[in-house]
Amino acid sequence: MDLAELAAGLHGITVEIASDGRGAGAGVVWAYDLIVTNAHVVRGPRVLVRGADRRRVEGVVVADDRAADLALVHAPGLDLPTATCAGDEPLPVGSIVVALGHPLGVPGAVTRGIVHAVGALTPGGRAWIQADLKLAPGNSGGPLADARGRVVGVNAMIVDGLALAIPVREVRRFVQSAGVAVS
Protein backbone atom coordinates (compact mmCIF):
# COMPACT_ATOMS: atom_id res chain seq x y z
CA MET A 1 0.00 0.00 0.00
CA ASP A 2 1.26 3.47 -0.77
CA LEU A 3 0.03 6.77 0.58
CA ALA A 4 -2.39 7.29 -2.33
CA GLU A 5 -4.08 3.94 -1.77
CA LEU A 6 -4.25 4.57 1.95
CA ALA A 7 -5.74 8.03 1.39
CA ALA A 8 -8.34 6.61 -1.00
CA GLY A 9 -9.40 4.08 1.62
CA LEU A 10 -9.70 6.75 4.30
CA HIS A 11 -11.61 8.98 1.93
CA GLY A 12 -14.35 6.36 1.72
CA ILE A 13 -14.92 6.21 5.48
CA THR A 14 -14.72 9.96 6.17
CA VAL A 15 -17.76 12.22 6.08
CA GLU A 16 -18.39 15.94 6.24
CA ILE A 17 -20.70 17.09 9.00
CA ALA A 18 -22.59 20.37 8.71
CA SER A 19 -24.33 21.56 11.79
CA ASP A 20 -26.36 24.67 12.47
CA GLY A 21 -26.15 25.61 8.80
CA ARG A 22 -22.36 25.68 8.86
CA GLY A 23 -19.79 23.31 7.49
CA ALA A 24 -18.20 22.25 10.70
CA GLY A 25 -16.06 19.22 10.59
CA ALA A 26 -15.46 15.62 9.76
CA GLY A 27 -16.63 12.25 11.01
CA VAL A 28 -15.67 8.58 10.79
CA VAL A 29 -18.07 5.87 9.63
CA TRP A 30 -17.77 3.69 12.71
CA ALA A 31 -20.51 1.16 11.94
CA TYR A 32 -23.27 0.89 9.36
CA ASP A 33 -24.95 4.35 9.17
CA LEU A 34 -23.28 5.33 12.46
CA ILE A 35 -20.79 8.19 12.56
CA VAL A 36 -18.33 9.07 15.29
CA THR A 37 -17.24 12.71 15.49
CA ASN A 38 -16.24 15.32 18.04
CA ALA A 39 -18.93 16.70 20.33
CA HIS A 40 -17.76 20.21 19.40
CA VAL A 41 -18.60 19.50 15.74
CA VAL A 42 -22.31 18.85 16.38
CA ARG A 43 -24.11 21.98 17.52
CA GLY A 44 -27.67 20.69 17.64
CA PRO A 45 -29.70 17.46 17.66
CA ARG A 46 -29.73 17.23 13.86
CA VAL A 47 -26.86 17.47 11.40
CA LEU A 48 -26.25 17.04 7.69
CA VAL A 49 -23.84 14.28 6.76
CA ARG A 50 -22.15 14.06 3.37
CA GLY A 51 -20.03 11.11 2.31
CA ALA A 52 -17.30 10.85 -0.29
CA ASP A 53 -20.00 10.08 -2.88
CA ARG A 54 -21.28 13.65 -2.23
CA ARG A 55 -24.77 12.43 -1.25
CA ARG A 56 -26.20 14.30 1.69
CA VAL A 57 -28.31 12.62 4.34
CA GLU A 58 -29.77 13.86 7.56
CA GLY A 59 -28.30 12.56 10.79
CA VAL A 60 -29.52 12.51 14.36
CA VAL A 61 -27.18 12.87 17.31
CA VAL A 62 -27.84 9.76 19.38
CA ALA A 63 -25.17 10.28 22.06
CA ASP A 64 -22.68 12.92 23.03
CA ASP A 65 -20.13 13.42 25.74
CA ARG A 66 -18.85 17.00 25.93
CA ALA A 67 -16.07 16.12 28.39
CA ALA A 68 -14.73 13.38 26.14
CA ASP A 69 -15.48 15.58 23.08
CA LEU A 70 -17.16 12.66 21.31
CA ALA A 71 -20.55 12.33 19.64
CA LEU A 72 -22.38 9.55 17.82
CA VAL A 73 -24.60 10.36 14.85
CA HIS A 74 -27.12 8.00 13.24
CA ALA A 75 -27.42 8.75 9.53
CA PRO A 76 -29.90 6.32 7.93
CA GLY A 77 -29.33 5.77 4.24
CA LEU A 78 -25.69 6.87 4.32
CA ASP A 79 -24.67 3.39 3.22
CA LEU A 80 -20.88 3.81 3.27
CA PRO A 81 -18.08 1.37 4.08
CA THR A 82 -17.07 1.32 7.74
CA ALA A 83 -13.67 2.06 9.19
CA THR A 84 -11.22 -0.63 10.20
CA CYS A 85 -9.86 0.24 13.62
CA ALA A 86 -6.54 -0.62 15.16
CA GLY A 87 -6.43 -2.70 18.32
CA ASP A 88 -5.18 -1.39 21.62
CA GLU A 89 -1.52 -2.22 20.94
CA PRO A 90 0.88 0.67 21.61
CA LEU A 91 1.51 3.10 18.78
CA PRO A 92 5.30 3.53 18.41
CA VAL A 93 6.73 7.05 18.47
CA GLY A 94 8.03 7.84 14.99
CA SER A 95 5.55 5.63 13.13
CA ILE A 96 3.67 7.20 10.24
CA VAL A 97 0.15 8.52 10.71
CA VAL A 98 -2.23 10.00 8.15
CA ALA A 99 -5.19 12.30 8.74
CA LEU A 100 -8.18 12.88 6.49
CA GLY A 101 -10.58 15.76 6.88
CA HIS A 102 -11.74 19.05 5.46
CA PRO A 103 -9.15 21.53 6.74
CA LEU A 104 -10.17 25.13 6.10
CA GLY A 105 -12.99 23.88 3.89
CA VAL A 106 -10.85 21.79 1.55
CA PRO A 107 -12.94 18.61 1.26
CA GLY A 108 -11.20 15.27 1.68
CA ALA A 109 -7.67 16.59 2.26
CA VAL A 110 -4.95 14.19 3.38
CA THR A 111 -2.02 15.17 5.61
CA ARG A 112 0.81 12.95 6.80
CA GLY A 113 3.15 12.92 9.75
CA ILE A 114 4.43 10.75 12.56
CA VAL A 115 3.47 9.89 16.10
CA HIS A 116 5.16 12.52 18.30
CA ALA A 117 4.26 10.93 21.62
CA VAL A 118 1.35 9.11 23.24
CA GLY A 119 0.03 10.27 26.58
CA ALA A 120 -0.92 13.35 28.54
CA LEU A 121 0.40 16.81 27.68
CA THR A 122 0.77 17.63 31.37
CA PRO A 123 1.07 15.20 34.29
CA GLY A 124 -2.30 13.77 35.21
CA GLY A 125 -3.97 15.07 32.05
CA ARG A 126 -5.93 13.18 29.49
CA ALA A 127 -4.13 10.72 27.21
CA TRP A 128 -3.85 11.82 23.60
CA ILE A 129 -2.20 10.57 20.48
CA GLN A 130 0.13 13.51 19.86
CA ALA A 131 1.08 13.72 16.20
CA ASP A 132 3.66 15.75 14.32
CA LEU A 133 1.13 16.38 11.56
CA LYS A 134 -0.68 19.37 10.09
CA LEU A 135 -4.30 19.79 11.15
CA ALA A 136 -6.60 22.78 10.70
CA PRO A 137 -10.20 23.62 11.59
CA GLY A 138 -12.30 21.18 9.56
CA ASN A 139 -10.18 18.19 10.54
CA SER A 140 -12.09 17.83 13.81
CA GLY A 141 -13.85 14.49 14.13
CA GLY A 142 -11.95 12.96 11.21
CA PRO A 143 -9.78 9.86 11.27
CA LEU A 144 -6.12 9.51 12.17
CA ALA A 145 -4.83 6.27 10.67
CA ASP A 146 -1.65 4.21 10.84
CA ALA A 147 0.45 3.03 7.88
CA ARG A 148 -1.89 0.05 7.46
CA GLY A 149 -4.85 2.38 7.02
CA ARG A 150 -6.40 1.38 10.33
CA VAL A 151 -8.01 4.16 12.35
CA VAL A 152 -6.00 4.81 15.51
CA GLY A 153 -7.72 7.98 16.67
CA VAL A 154 -10.23 10.74 16.08
CA ASN A 155 -8.62 14.13 15.47
CA ALA A 156 -9.78 16.63 18.02
CA MET A 157 -7.55 19.68 18.35
CA ILE A 158 -4.28 21.46 17.76
CA VAL A 159 -2.10 22.65 20.64
CA ASP A 160 1.11 24.57 19.85
CA GLY A 161 1.08 23.10 16.35
CA LEU A 162 0.80 19.57 17.69
CA ALA A 163 -2.13 17.49 16.43
CA LEU A 164 -4.11 15.80 19.21
CA ALA A 165 -6.32 12.79 18.53
CA ILE A 166 -8.57 10.81 20.87
CA PRO A 167 -7.22 7.24 21.01
CA VAL A 168 -9.44 4.64 19.37
CA ARG A 169 -9.68 2.74 22.68
CA GLU A 170 -11.48 5.69 24.22
CA VAL A 171 -13.78 6.00 21.19
CA ARG A 172 -14.66 2.33 21.48
CA ARG A 173 -15.53 2.81 25.13
CA PHE A 174 -17.72 5.81 24.32
CA VAL A 175 -19.63 3.96 21.59
CA GLN A 176 -20.20 0.99 23.91
CA SER A 177 -21.45 3.20 26.73
CA ALA A 178 -23.83 4.92 24.33
CA GLY A 179 -25.69 1.63 24.21
CA VAL A 180 -26.41 1.85 20.51
CA ALA A 181 -26.70 -1.51 18.82
CA VAL A 182 -23.76 -1.73 16.45
CA SER A 183 -24.27 -4.26 13.72
Partner 1 sequence: MNKLLDLSDQLAAAVQRAGQSVLAVHGRPRLASTGIHWRPGLIVTANHTLQADEDLTVTSPTGETLGVTVVGRDPGLDIAILRSATPPGAVAEVGDSDTVRVGHMVLAVGAGPRASWGVVSAIGATSARRAASDVFSLDLRLYPGFSGGPLIDARGTVVGVNTSGASRHLHLAIPANAANRVIDAVVRHGRVPQAFLGVSTQQIRVPEGVRDAGAEGRDRAVIVVEVQPGSPAAAGLFVGDVILALDGVPITDPLDLRGTLRPERIGERVSASVLRAGRVVEVSLTVGERPDRAR
> Quick one: 62 or 117, whose CB is closer to partner 1?
117
Member of 1, 60, 104, 106 binding partner 1 (CB under 8 A): 1
List the Cα angle 50/15/3 in 5-degree steps.
135
Q: Is residue 115 part of the contact set for partner 1 (CB under 8 A)?
A: yes
Choices 63-71, 74-82, 86-94, 135-143; region in contact with partner 1 by CB under 8 A:
86-94
Q: Is 160 exposed, middle or buried (0-12, 13-18, 19+ CB in 10 A)?
A: exposed
List the Cα angle 181/182/183 in 5-degree steps.
115
Member of 162, 169, 173, 178 binding partner 1 (CB under 8 A): 162
Member of 12, 107, 108, 113 binding partner 1 (CB under 8 A): 113
**Using only C-alpha atoms, what is the Rg of the chain?**
15
Alpha carbons 115 and 130: distance in angstroms, whole number: 6
Q: Give the nearest distance from C-beta 22 to partner 1 in angstroms.
A: 30
The reply to whether 116 belongs to the active site is: no
* Helix (H) or strand (E) run with residue 165 in it: strand 162-167
* Helix (H) or strand (E) run with residue 10 in it: helix 3-13
Q: Give the nearest distance from C-beta 113 to partner 1 in angstroms.
A: 6
Q: Is residue 60 part of the contact set for partner 1 (CB under 8 A)?
A: no
| Residue ranges binding partner 1 (CB under 8 A) | 1-3, 6, 92-96, 113-117, 130, 132, 146-148, 160-162
